[in-house]
Structure 1
């Protein structure tokens, strides 16, 4: 007898334009709708990605929190889970992890999965109530999906049982992200004939390390006076970065582009991609840059060393080190042949190990496993 579709609730903190939310959208879009019935539920009332989630043919619900840790939502979630007869709850981001796990267990949902996209060594999880709440909630999940071995190790250091954690790397849509004509974006931004063009795609947050790139940029413009650096993304740290840009005399070299929907086009305007983060899980944007055959300079944090092999398909530098960032960038700018070689190696590496198809297939296997006899541990051997 053919099994009915797996009824999955994807619970997320909100629909803002963030890395975790974007990857969840991508996963839902590519999961087999003949095998899965998917509902997406947000715990925040508004977000720029809501229409995108609604456009992929799944049910979208919003249960907005009245405040950050609104436990009054738990009964609402319990009723919804029972009414919809949900088979699997998958949670993404902190508040979804806590409220979703509690509600799922009260509603006696058969399986609960938490998708962990950031390193838990970062201070975001440092407040004691967060650490305690998270550790407690994770006792009641069936599996935790970590996006890198680095994230898995940080979870274990935080007291999570290793046997519960499964690493599923991000995958990249290789048809979308590739080396293509960049004339349109270059002309729009006014970069025709400009060399070099360096870029960062990340929210403007202290953890992303933009300030260290800015300080390193002062050395780069000494050798390459025409340098342009694109900051793609927005956030609470923007004013501080704009002020630092002015103080360093870099106003003519740095462009703050805000949030953009044409990331593929923008990546292809660059000569070199940089991610100077202080902490990361597995930065999907690095994989996207690699898929576009870009040479990448990134800090050796979180899961980054799992995707960048130093000096082969990118260059790794220590975090919080402007001089190391500048030295690595100049090394690539000074040698076109090396830039091209590293970029081509990056593309081949992503094609071989980080396809979106592989990621989606691994999640499907996990969903199937979670609804099988729990004594069958073969998938996790």
Structure 2
């Protein structure tokens, strides 16, 4: 059989939207793959916004929408494999995972997300509900042929907390299109003000408010602070706010290229894709030692990490990079090399497709029946 018919069911919330855009671009580069896209919207509007449970529970909403999307695609073609990102839309679509070879990708396990939950305004339910949720997710991970983890941190959580064999998990970070984010010219020392860049929709969760305080303590050094966020801020000297920049847009890339330091002192994140963008742009990076971040920002090697919520350490790290251009550029060059090697989206999309092809080929060799029904129970 020539070519592969793959279904992609992708959660559309937070940084997963940017991940989707990168996959749409890079999967299309493989002539063997015929991709069918099911984009699972987060919002519940209209009639859906008035249905109890459905409107308030993202897992239920995502699962119902994913099942419908797979059924729609399956009416159009004979699918060779399914790819779910994240596990949220896959949990209530396990009947499809048992019929069509499937891979489930995730940035964090539900238990890891619970650990960061306070920063996402996420609350845990009663014990019986959390136990039921754990079993559902464990069964989902069992139903998938393979799992893709965004970080070694994620893989550890799957093995430790969900009984997943380590050899079933492949670590493939999301990445960015590195060639598009590279600066057109190398960075060199300059006499202009050193510019600090922050990119994060949720200013508070991402540490932007603490960054503002650190900046104010260092403003006398002649620095500038550039904030790309959805939040509005009152004007103040040396602070520039951008509320309308779109992900992957050229104006956003230009801002990365003109700024010197990328600061994301986040309180709660799994693996922010903006760090890959900063690394590809050869910026001196400062972030926190949260979740999978130390895998991309290796302290003292590809950037600097500080404890989350430690304003004094953040201020010192900013001072170190702002006043030491040689250190800033050395860390930036190492970050660029590290991101190019491990976080390049076209390369990593090819790795994902290789996994899907391998599962499709195995299913063909085993003579597994591809579903002929036009729906799943």
Q: CA deviation at 1:329?
A: 0.7
TM, length-normalised to structure 2? 0.77
CA contact (8 A) 2:65 2:89 kept: no
Q: What is aligned with 2:106?
A: 116
Compared with structure 1, are the counterparts of its residues 72 and 166 closer, same or farther at alpha carbon in structure 2 (3 Å cutoff)? closer
Give the distance between the partners of 1:97 and 1:113, measured in 2 at CA.
10
- Counting matched residue pairs gives 331
Does the aligned pair in 2 maintain the 1:119–1:279 contact within 8 Å?
Answer: no
- 2:6 paired residue among 8, 11, 35: 8
1:1-381 → structure 2 map (5 Å cutoff): 3-14=1-12, 18-31=14-27, 32-44=29-41, 67=55, 68=58, 69-70=60-61, 73=65, 76-77=68-69, 79-83=71-75, 84-93=77-86, 95-99=88-92, 101-105=93-97, 108-109=99-100, 111-118=101-108, 120=110, 121-123=112-114, 124=117, 127=124, 128=130, 130-163=133-166, 164-180=168-184, 195-204=193-202, 206-221=204-219, 223-224=220-221, 226-234=222-230, 238=231, 242=233, 251-260=236-245, 261=249, 262-373=251-362
Q: Label 1:78 to 1:204 Cα distance change in 2 as closer, same or farther (>3 A).
A: closer
The 1:337–1:365 alpha-carbon spacing in structure 2 relative to 1, beyond 3 Å, is same
Moved over 4 A (4+): 71-75, 129-132
Shift, 1:181, TM fit: 6.5
How far off is 1:358 after superposition? 2.6
**Which sections of structure 2, spanning at least 5 residues, go unmatched?**
125-129, 366-377
Q: Distance in 2 between matches of 1:351 and 1:207?
A: 28
Structure 1 residues 145 and 207, CA, compared in 2 at 3 Å: closer, same or farther? farther
Q: Distance in 1 between matches of 2:226 and 2:160?
A: 36
1:273–1:252 Cα change, 3 Å: same
Superposed displacement of residue 176, structure 1:
0.7
Structure 2 Cα separation of the partners of residues 147 and 348 of structure 1: 19
Structure 1 unmatched runs, 5+:
48-63, 183-192, 377-381
* Deviation (angstroms), 1:300: 1.3
- Are the counterparts in 1 of residues 38 and 66 from structure 2 also a CA contact under 8 Å? no
Q: 1:169: how far off?
A: 2.4
* Structure of greater relative contact order (alpha carbons < 8 Å, 6+ residues apart): 2
What is the distance in 2 between the residues matched to 1:137 and 1:256?
42
- Across the aligned residues of Structure 1 and Structure 2, the Cα RMSD in angstroms comes to 3.2
Task: Give the direction of change, closer, same or farther, for the CA distance of 1:252–1:119 in structure 2 (3 Å limit).
Answer: farther
For 1:331 and 1:105, the matched residues in 2 are separated by: 50
